Copies of this chain bind each other. A is one copy, B any other.
């Protein structure tokens, strides 16, 4: 593992929990080594997260013999080098999203991994929410029909506070974009996963607060730096098959903490999901008798995807870490049984390509057509 922040913690819990939940497990992970931005951070992370060893710098880790899979949980600007070197060292790769700073880099990473013949996974972990997978299943079962509308929002509120510091997520050189890449990428991925490819987009973005205190700065008049990414992005999209897509990502929506939602309206029914209630899926079927039609609130559990791995009845709830645990199961399964992992670097690349078009549309004030592969 390279990186030991919030996602490093989630992944570490996931590596431990996976065999306890998915038994018999395809493999029992060993936490061989961890690296981080400094020696000291790597050492502390090793103890805290229960790894066998720490190394510094990360390039050493990528080459370690006992390491079979490299888990990249670092800021966006570092993914490319790490993944390409890991691929060259013939390690399987599990990389955080967004895969890269732009579509061109992402494509290189995809091609490097493919060329090396390693398994690769991009951490669009929200796909692994049981309720999201249930949505996919209901669509595949034909319960939604032809999709007329896809609307998704990913809203947070941590950035409304003007004193929130200029962390890397607000700096284009490290993050590539703002709300778009950080959270918007997840709903772009869900649109692709649940509905289909993007054909064209019209976009507006805004940076509501243009300067923020530097993280290292303090006192009553802290030094400030420029926010050069989007605080919010609003997207109209034509998706393949004629679906109208409306997507929105913002860090400026008070009261919305991790409000990642989507709604799909089709010719036979509708689906609604809000991650803040991640153990629920809402489903409306126009095939029910007319007088008992209504949005159902389905509590996910054993009858649903990944449900048997967890608790014996619905309503006991899984948390954020479960999305990662489920992904690690898919990765282990892919490696052990030599199957393609989904989502993989192709998905990571396509998402970056769409984000390039989104930024271009915002800049040019015009509809942008996506190039097909």
Q: Report the separation of the CA atoms of residues A294 and B304 in the bound assembly, to the nearest whole angstrom.
A: 12
Q: Which chain B residues lie closer than 8 Å to A208 at the CB level?
A: 148, 242
B299 to A257, Cβ gap below 8 A? yes
* Known A-B contacts A257-B315, A316-B258; A232 and B20 likewise in contact (beta carbons under 8 Å): no
B298 to A296, Cβ gap below 8 A? no
Q: Which chain B residues lie closer than 8 Å to A244 at the CB level?
A: 204, 206, 232, 234
Q: Report the separation of the CA atoms of residues A253 and B286 in the bound assembly, to the nearest whole angstrom.
A: 11
Instruction: Count residues of A near B (Cβ-Cβ below 8 Å).
Output: 101
Q: Which chain B residues lie closer than 8 Å to A196 at the CB level?
A: none
Question: How far does the Cβ of A317 sit from chain B's closest Cβ, in whole Å?
Answer: 5
Q: Write the A306-345 contact mask toward B (1 if CB under 8 angstroms, else 0).
A: 0000111111111111100000000000000000000000
B303 to A294, Cβ gap below 8 A? no
Q: Which chain B residues lie closer than 8 Å to A165 at the CB level?
A: none
* Known A-B contacts A234-B236, A254-B270; A290 and B303 likewise in contact (beta carbons under 8 Å): yes
A253 to B149, Cβ gap below 8 A? yes
Chain A, range 1-35, C-beta contacts under 8 Å to B: 6, 9-10, 12-13, 16-17, 19-21, 23, 25, 28
A284 to B254, Cβ gap below 8 A? yes
B298 to A297, Cβ gap below 8 A? no
A320 to B311, Cβ gap below 8 A? yes
* Segment of A86-94, A97-105, A275-283 engaged in the interface with chain B: A275-283
B242 to A206, Cβ gap below 8 A? yes
State which of B238, B242, B248, B257 has its C-beta within 8 Å of the C-beta of A246.
Answer: B248
A291 to B277, Cβ gap below 8 A? no
A266 to B283, Cβ gap below 8 A? no
Question: How far does the Cβ of A154 sit from chain B's closest Cβ, in whole Å?
Answer: 11
Q: Report the separation of the CA atoms of residues A303 and B257 in the bound assembly, to the nearest whole angstrom.
A: 12
Question: How far does the Cβ of A246 sit from chain B's closest Cβ, in whole Å?
Answer: 5
Q: Report the separation of the CA atoms of residues A313 and B275 in the bound assembly, to the nearest whole angstrom.
A: 13
* Known A-B contacts A160-B286, A284-B255; A278 and B148 likewise in contact (beta carbons under 8 Å): no
Q: Write the A242-273 contact mask toward B (1 if CB under 8 angstroms, else 0).
A: 10101010101111111100010111111010
Assess whether A56 is interfacial by the CB under 8 Å rule. Answer: no
Question: How far does the Cβ of A41 sit from chain B's closest Cβ, in whole Å?
Answer: 13
A236 to B202, Cβ gap below 8 A? yes
B236 to A265, Cβ gap below 8 A? no
B13 to A16, Cβ gap below 8 A? yes
Q: A276 — nearest CB in chain B belongs to which residue?
A: B315
Assess whether A301 is interfacial by the CB under 8 Å rule. Answer: yes
Q: A204 — nearest CB in chain B belongs to which residue?
A: B236
Q: Report the separation of the CA atoms of residues A157 and B246 in the bound assembly, to the nearest whole angstrom.
A: 18
* Known A-B contacts A234-B236, A254-B266, A313-B258; A283 and B279 likewise in contact (beta carbons under 8 Å): no
* Known A-B contacts A236-B234, A255-B294, A276-B315; A149 and B246 likewise in contact (beta carbons under 8 Å): no
Question: How far does the Cβ of A184 sit from chain B's closest Cβ, in whole Å?
Answer: 14
Q: Write the A105-147 contact mask toward B (1 if CB under 8 angstroms, else 0).
A: 0000000000000000000000000000010011000010000
Q: Report the separation of the CA atoms of residues A246 and B21 in the bound assembly, to the nearest whole angstrom.
A: 37
Give chain A's interface residues, CB within 8 Å of chain B. 6, 9-10, 12-13, 16-17, 19-21, 23, 25, 28, 47-50, 134, 137-138, 143, 148-149, 151, 153, 155-158, 160, 202-204, 206, 208, 232, 234, 236, 238, 242, 244, 246, 248, 250, 252-259, 263, 265-270, 272, 275-279, 281-286, 288, 290-299, 301, 303-304, 310-322, 365-367
Q: Would you give 11 A-B contacts (Cβ < 8 Å), ordered by A?
A: A13-B13, A13-B17, A13-B20, A151-B248, A202-B202, A246-B248, A255-B294, A255-B295, A256-B270, A258-B316, A288-B296
